[in-house]
Amino acid sequence: MKKILAIATATTMFAGVSFSQNRITLDIAKARDTINKNIYGHFAEHLGHCIYDGIYVGADNQKIPNRNGIRLDIVEALKKLKTPVLRWPGGCFADTYHWKDAIGPREKRKAIENFTWGGVREDNSFGTHEFLELCEMINAEPYLAINMGSGTVQEAMEWVQYVNHPNGTSHLTDLRQQNGRSKPWNVKYWGIGNESWDCGGNMTAAYYVNEYKKYATLATSYNNSEGLYRIAVGPGTEDYSWTETVMREVPLKRLEGLSIHHYSVINWSAKGSATGFSEDEYFSTMEQAWRMERMVKKNSEVMDKYDPSKKVGLVVDEWGGWYEVEKGTNPAFLYQQNSMRDAMIAGLTLNIFNNHCDRVRMANLAQTVNVLQSVVLTKEEKLVLTPTYHVMEMYNVHQDALLLPLTISSSNYELNGKKIQAVSASASKDRNGAIHISLVNMDAGKAQEISIDLGSAAVKTVSGRILQSAQLQDHNSFENPEKVKPAEFRKAALKGKELSVNLPAFSVVVLELK
C-alpha cells in the first residue's frame, strides 16, 4: 500500500477558516487491506491505580458493583469501545512479575513489592485468572507479556501450559483445575520481553535476539503447533538498527510480531501539565504525535527487506501522551488528566495505523484506566470517560473494515515559524457497504474546508459525529463528566461524487456514507 501526502502551500484566510485546497481523494479500486481490529487495543499495567482501585476493587467491595472484584461499569465501558485486545501485566512491571505468585486462593497468594512503580505492596489478588476473566467479560483477546528480565524460560513454558494446554497433560493443568478453571483459555498473543533495551534488562539487540530465540522456541512446542502469536521487542526510539537485527537474525518461523513504543512527549525532563498548557506546548505535542508516521514507515521499510510478504506484524503496543502527574498524586503512579489535546493525539495516531494496516496488526493505548492517556478515570464509585475514550468509540467503525486508500493535500498548521500538516484522514468500507471517513484538524485556531473526491463510490447520504470543545484544555472531570462528548456533525454536504466538509479547529469527525 502506498500513500501520497502532498502539502498545499497557497492559503488565504477569512473569518478564521482556511480556504486552501484541502483535498482528499479516495481510490476505492486499490482497496485490498483490512484494518485489523486489534489496532484498537489497550494496555493495562500494574501501575498506580490502573489495576487496583481501577479495574479491580476487590470481591468484598460492597460499594462498587463488581463481579469477583472486577468493576462492572468499567466492563461496560470497555465493551462499548469494542475493545479487541488487552495487554497485561506490563510494561516494565512484567519483567519483575512471577505469575505463580498470583494464582490459587487469594488469602494464600504471595504479597510483593511493586518496586517498579512506587514501591507499594501488592497482595496479588489480581492475577492470571482474574485478568483472563476480565478479557472474557469484555470480549477481548488477552495479550500476556512474558517476564524475560527476571524470569526464566521454564517459567514462561509453564505459563503457556497452565493457560493453554488441555486437561490432564501435566501437573500444571491439574493445578489450573484445582484453581477453578477446567477448560484452557487458549491465549494467542504473547510478548517475549518488554523494552529490553531499557527497564527490561538494558540489553543490546544482539543479546536480546539470542534470548528471544530461546523463549520463542521453548515456551511453545518446537513447531509452534499451538499457533501462538509471538511478539518480539522492537525499538522505543527511531533506532532502526534494532529492528534490522531482530528481522535479520530471527527466523520468520519463530516470529509473528515486532513491537515498537512511542509516546508524544515534549521533553522527558519537563513534560508539562496535562491541562495547563500553552498553544506552543500543544503544537510541540502534535509534532511528536506526527513522528508516529515516520516510525511506522521506517520500521516497515526495514521489515520489508526480510519479510516482503508481510508475514510479521508491526505491533505498536505502547502509545499515547505523557505529561506531569496531577498535583497531589504519587509521582510514580503516572495519573494525569485527559484533554482535547489527547483527543487530537488519538485521532491522528489511529489514522496513521489505519493507513498502514498492511503492516500494523495491533496497537495498545497506554493505558486503560487512571494511567497516562487513559480512556477511563475512576474515583471511588465515580467513573469518567475521557476525550480519548470518545475518539476510540467513534473510530471503532473501522475495526475489521476494508481500508480505502486515499491521497491528501493539506494546508499547514503554522506557529512561531514552525509548521505541521493540519489535516489527517483515513477511510474504510465495512461489511455492510457503509463508508466511514475519519478526519482530524490539528490547527488550534483555524477551521479547514475540505473537498473529498469519492471516486467510484455510490453514495446517497452522509451523516457524522464530532468531538470538539471551546478550549484545547477542556477535559471531563468527576464534577463535570460530560463537558467533552460527541455530538451530531452537520457541516458535511454531498453533491454528486464530491463531499465538502467544514472541519472546525482542533476537532475530530467521523463521517458515515451510505
Burial classification of residue 199, based on how many CB atoms lie within 10 Å of its CB (0-12 exposed, 13-18 middle, 19 or more buried): middle
Please pick, among 45, 122, 141, 195, the residue that the annotation labels catalytic: 195
Query: Catalytic site residue 122?
Result: no
The three-point CA angle 325-331-332 to 5° equals: 120
CA distance 500 to 437: 12
Cis amide leading into 58 (omega within 30): no
SS3 99: helix
CA distance 220 to 228: 8
Q: What pLDDT is recorded for position 13?
A: 39
* CB contact at 8 A, 318 and 367: no
Among residues 396, 345, 320, which one has the least CA distance to residue 508?
345
CA distance 131 to 136: 9
Q: What pLDDT is recorded for position 15?
A: 42
- How many residues are recorded in the chain? 514
Q: Write out the DSSP string of 97-144.
A: --GGGG-S-GGGSPPEEETTTTSEEE---S-HHHHHHHHHHHT-EEEE
Please pick, among 130, 158, 293, 318, the residue that the annotation labels catalytic: 318
Among residues 345, 320, 334, which one has the least CA distance to residue 472?
345
Cell of 372: 497516562
The DSSP call for residue 492 is E
Q: What pLDDT is recorded for position 20?
A: 54
Q: What pLDDT is recorded for position 226?
A: 83
Q: What pLDDT is recorded for position 221?
A: 80
Domain 37-400 adopts which CATH fold? Answer: TIM Barrel (3.20.20)
Q: What pLDDT is recorded for position 224?
A: 83
Q: Residue ranges per domain, the chain?
A: 5-32+404-513, 37-400
Q: What pLDDT is recorded for position 368?
A: 98
Q: What pLDDT is recorded for position 225?
A: 80
pLDDT tens for the chain, 514 residues long, are 434 333 333 333 334 554 457 999 999 999 999 999 999 999 999 999 999 999 999 999 999 999 999 999 999 999 999 999 999 999 999 999 999 999 999 999 999 999 999 999 999 999 999 999 999 999 999 999 999 999 999 999 999 999 999 998 899 999 999 999 999 999 999 999 999 999 999 999 999 999 999 999 998 887 888 899 999 999 999 999 999 999 999 999 999 999 999 999 999 999 999 999 999 999 999 999 999 999 999 999 999 999 999 999 999 999 999 999 999 999 999 999 999 999 999 999 999 999 999 999 999 999 999 999 999 999 999 999 999 999 999 999 999 999 999 999 999 999 999 999 999 999 999 999 999 999 999 999 999 999 999 999 989 999 999 999 999 999 999 999 999 999 999 999 999 999 999 999 999 999 999 9
Q: What pLDDT is recorded for position 223?
A: 80
Among residues 176, 363, 342, which one has the least CA distance to residue 261?
363
CATH superfamily of 5-32+404-513: Golgi alpha-mannosidase II (2.60.40.1180)
Q: What pLDDT is recorded for position 5?
A: 39
Q: What pLDDT is recorded for position 11?
A: 37
CA distance 352 to 34: 14
Query: Catalytic site residue 482?
Result: no
Q: What pLDDT is recorded for position 96?
A: 96
